[in-house]
């Protein structure tokens, strides 16, 4: 593994490895520490750019009021053009950037993410609005307990659930707890954003990755979007919401193989 170089301006960034630029965006309540166990493998093929989103981890001092603010902060110190991989809420952020700043995105990868997280009757499965509203209330009553319950929810159903939860806690709690306002904004975005109609407008390659046992982003969403989009999804059979933890080796191999196939010209990219 190569040493990290930390950005001292704006958000907290860590960079590892050599190769095409690959930006990793974490999910709600988490921080860039979630990627710790895949850095060594992927940094052999890519220059990894890990960022703590505004209000999270070592970027907990940075406040934002909207997804536009979040994306502006992230783009400020991001590579001029890169592959963007967003997990869960990070997938919404990466999708927003791909839709509104397509010149900055070579390829979009969404992991255990959805263009609309909130359920919409029988038409669209997702997180029940009551669950999201309950998390909002619980944040004020039991801040750390709410974060830990969400970690457990992300691993629910996985054959390695206990190990996955332990892994998430170790890496996430190694950094400062997220800012409550950032958490509230994140829940608002999960409840309100709907990018389903815009996805077909994306011109860059899109890879969608899911966990078969995911209770937050049901696998039925993958099948619904398969009918609308030219790119087909990939489903990790033994994973819930965190395939990069539950099936680490398979995840890293897929990322290396799919990105080299989809973006063969990226080997010659000049990192600026």
pLDDT of residue 129: 86
**CA 198, 199, 200, 202: dihedral to nearest 10 degrees?**
100
Gyration radius from the chain CA atoms: 17
pLDDT of residue 10: 81
Q: Give domain 5-268's CATH superfamily.
A: Alpha/Beta hydrolase fold, catalytic domain (3.40.50.1820)
pLDDT of residue 28: 93
In the chain, where the domains are located: 5-268
pLDDT of residue 261: 59
Map tokens 């960079």 to a residue. 15
Q: How far apart are the C-alpha atoms of 126 and 148, rounded to whole Å? A: 20
Q: How many CB atoms lie within 10 A of CB 137?
A: 9
- With b for 16 or more beta-carbon neighbours within 10 A and e for fewer, the 49-84 pattern comes to bbbbbbbbbbbbebebeebeebbebbeeebbebbbb
Q: How far apart are the C-alpha atoms of 16 and 36, rounded to whole Å? A: 11
Within the chain, which residues score under 50 in pLDDT? 1-9, 264-272
| Active-site annotation, residues | 88, 214, 241
Question: Could you tell me if 259 and 251 are in contact, meaning their C-beta atoms sit under 8 angstroms apart?
Answer: no
pLDDT of residue 133: 85
pLDDT of residue 262: 60
pLDDT of residue 263: 56
CA atoms within 13 A on the CB side of 29: 20
pLDDT of residue 126: 93
pLDDT of residue 269: 44
Q: How far apart are the C-alpha atoms of 111 and 209, rounded to whole Å? A: 5
pLDDT of residue 265: 47
């Amino acid at each position: 593994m190569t040493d990290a170089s930390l950005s001292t301006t704006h958000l907290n960034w860590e960079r590892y490895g050599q190769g095409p630029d690959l930006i990793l965006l974490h999910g709600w309540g988490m921080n860039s520490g979630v990627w710790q166990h895949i850095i060594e493998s992927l940094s052999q093929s890519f220059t990894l750019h890990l960022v703590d989103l505004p209000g999270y981890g070592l970027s907990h001092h940075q406040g934002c009021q909207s997804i536009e603010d979040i994306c502006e902060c992230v783009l400020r110190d991001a590579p001029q053009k890169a592959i963007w991989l967003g997990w869960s809420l990070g997938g919404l952020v990466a999708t927003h950037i791909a839709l509104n700043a397509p010149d900055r995105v070579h390829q979009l990868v969404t992991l255990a993410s959805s263009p609309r997280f909130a359920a919409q009757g029988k038409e669209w499965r997702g997180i029940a609005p009551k669950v999201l509203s309950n998390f909002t209330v619980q944040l004020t009553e039991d801040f750390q307990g709410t974060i830990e319950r969400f970690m457990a929810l992300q691993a629910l159903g996985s054959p390695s659930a206990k190990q996955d939860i332990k892994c998430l806690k170790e890496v996430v709690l190694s950094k400062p707890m997220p800012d409550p306002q950032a958490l509230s904004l994140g829940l608002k975005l999960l409840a309100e954003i709907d990018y389903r109609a815009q996805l077909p407008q994306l011109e860059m390659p899109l890879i969608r990755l899911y966990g078969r046992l995911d209770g937050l982003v049901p696998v039925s969403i993958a099948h619904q979007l398969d009918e609308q989009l030219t790119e087909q999804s990939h489903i990790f059979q033994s994973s819930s919401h965190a395939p990069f933890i539950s099936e680490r080796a398979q995840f890293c191999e897929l990322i290396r193989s799919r990105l080299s196939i989809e973006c063969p010209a990226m080997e010659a990219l000049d990192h600026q």
